[in-house]
Amino acid sequence: MKAKRNTQRFWLAAFIFVLFSFGVMADVPVPDIPEAVKGEQCVEETGFMRRNHMELLLHQRDDTLRKGIRTQKHSLKNCFTCHVVKGADNQPVTVKDSRHFCRECHDYAAVQVDCFQCHTSVPGGAKTTGTRP
């Protein structure tokens, strides 16, 4: 049983290697993530944030709501301070706009952003909330 599983893994790995070697999967589009506009460095490394941002936000939520602990390092407000995307009117775009920072990856991965049903989707305390169009 174990030998069969190892053989299957070998052939799967070989198949993926061949696909990448011949460029079959090289042309897969990736999201166009807007650059940060403020600050010199993110609170964590880029790769770490891409993999773990949801866990950090959930941990922040649990600490804030359930334990009354308010820290700034991984707060949603802190994210928008640097990652705001502005429209033609030089005002931050809301989550209803496809250019919104969170929407790039979430739309790409077909994952709904539901934070903004309650929270503002722009920095600066604006009272603009709303779900995706």
Please tell me the pTM assigned to this model: 0.60
pLDDT tens by residue, 5-27? 778 888 888 877 776 666 655 56
- Higher local confidence (pLDDT), 98 or 130: 98
How far apart are the C-alpha atoms of 18 and 8, rounded to whole Å?
Answer: 15
Q: Encode pLDDT of 63-107 as tens digits.
A: 887 888 877 777 777 787 788 889 999 999 998 998 888 888 888
Written as six digits, the tokens of 58 are 């959930």
Pinpoint the alpha helices (H) of the chain: 2-21, 46-61, 67, 76-83, 101-108
How does the average pLDDT of the chain come out, rounded?
Answer: 78
Q: Cα–Cα distance between 73 and 60 in angstroms, integer?
A: 9
**Over residues 47-69, mean pLDDT:** 83
